[in-house]
Structure 1
């Protein structure tokens, strides 16, 4: 084991330059102040993230994803994580509604990109491009690449989700530096894309199909995650229970 986070455990991979992500059922909110368990969440997030990362790879968006190993694990490329969370907002919800007094559900004039410094002890403070470049978290060129990739991901995922009756309200992305053997560096999409880090609303009813159901004690969190997987056509036939994988590596 290399590292255990709030939603995943990271293990050494079977080959140099790879790591294994294990998806947990643990759920946290409000920077770890609220904790709980969502049965089967890890299985569903593993499947959903695999599906979305593969689709983005096919669209030419570089990611760290290689393949899913079993129900809870996936093999990814080892990258140097850039300590910035990129949040793309299409519809007002959560903190932007509180900060600016905008009613939740209000369509924003255009997609808004925000940056947050990845630091749990500081509660992931919002930062500007000036902070990012001044403190050396990323260069201007890297930030330009990150923004361009983020907007491409937003355009693609917004259309994909709308096609299955879901609004992509907002979501969080993380990026990393992938170093190639020849010394070249490439910015790639890392972490995961799932209802844990996306706000997903039913297009007709605005029913929440994401982790806000846990944050706000709305109940039926498992059902919401399962509904997203069902609409994507990837709900595991055996349900979100554990099945012994044949390729478990740790």
Structure 2
């Protein structure tokens, strides 16, 4: 690993130079973070589970014609992906009031929204990833009006797919965060899905019990994060023979 050139390191993943031009290797770490890294822990096995769950979802999205950066999984923690120019926006699709939306609007968490809502957040940890409007996005040149249209259309297609996928295994898709990038192919450029889709980036509630099967278990000190992620993987039918051992608990990083 040390012989590879590190291109970028984020809170939960590392990007390395890929084996071919235009490719990268995406490595999933065991780091768990919340509140823009104000809360940080190492949770053994989380990266393995996120790698497998994200692989499963991205492969299915590729199969139904949603363009993504995913090429193939390399090993337990790594994927081969296409290199893209990341658009500096976090795109959040909300189906149910929860988290910051419930707090901002004084809504009871769990309230079904009248329709799916798309929100944009400027990717900047130092600023706390502030929420922005389409006007901000176009005024500051983060994306063009046509790119925003493409992003919103893809986000809604992804939402339709994920809602059905999780409903089929008894899970309610509350909301999720995705990122997009520009893929350049000769003279052509297109917007494609990048980053990951996993319980780190989705709110997933058991339909019957309402139990949280996502990173809110870490944010809210509920415990059982790896077990919840394992349950999501089990329901999706992707649990593996060498599953990560369930740790004794998160190890706080000072």
Q: Distance in 2 between matches of 1:25 and 1:238?
A: 16
2:103 counterpart SS class: helix
Question: Are 1:230 and 2:234 an aligned pair?
Answer: yes
Aligned residue in 2 for 1:56 = 61
2:174 to 155, 169, 175: 169
Shift of 1:237: 1.3
TM-score (norm 1): 0.95
1:239 to 239, 243, 246: 243
1:164 counterpart SS class: coil
Q: What do the CA deviations read for 1:198-238 (whole angstroms, capped 9, x no partner)?
A: 00000111100000000000011110000000001111211
Shift of 1:154: 0.2
Q: Distance in 1 between matches of 2:44 and 2:109?
A: 28
Aligned residue in 1 for 2:189 = 185
Aligned residue in 2 for 1:244 = none
Shift of 1:240: 1.7
Aligned residue in 2 for 1:133 = 138
TM-score (norm 2): 0.94
Structure 1 consecutive aligned stretches of length 4 or more whose deviation exceeds 2 Å: none
What count of residue pairs does the alignment treat as equivalent?
Answer: 240
Q: Distance in 2 between matches of 1:85 and 1:112?
A: 14
Question: Are 1:211 and 2:215 an aligned pair?
Answer: yes
Question: Are 1:145 and 2:126 an aligned pair?
Answer: no
Two-structure CA RMSD over aligned residues (Å): 0.6
